[in-house]
Amino acid sequence: MGRNHSFNTTLNGLFLDRLTGTPTAREKGAPLWLAGVSYGPARASKPVVGPVSRPRATLALAEAAQDKVGAAARLRSARVACWRAGQATREPEQVLAAWRWRLPWWAAGEHEEFGKKMAQVRAARQALDRAGRR
């Protein structure tokens, strides 16, 4: 820990994660902080088949470059452009929904859904906390 010549304190850390091997039961489920409540983009009921469209290929390249220096500043605009191009080329709704999940956009009803899911998370976390105190 150290100060960076301001009122802020910086904390540097090195976080290691499993690189290989079979995921454990805990790693397969929802993140621990979600207390087992599943929340995320809708999963496709069946895979999207057919030729890879230009928006899908472009987005795949942009996502692959997200850890490159300077790419983060351009990634959001690339995602927006691909989402718009996907709409124009009539990408399947499940593809557009997955892409929109990566953007800070909310569709009708998603605020309410998020609130309900987070209420479930709070209740599950409280139950875990009560069980841990016994």
DSSP codes, 63-98: HHTTTSTTTHHHHHHHHHHHHHHHHHTT--HHHHHH
What are the residue ranges spanned by the domains of the chain?
Answer: 51-111
19-75 per-position pLDDT tens digit: 667 766 666 666 666 777 777 766 655 555 666 778 888 888 877 877 777 777 788
CA distance linking residue 96 with residue 121, whole number of Å: 27
Report residue 78's pLDDT band, with 50, 70 and 90 as the boundaries. confident
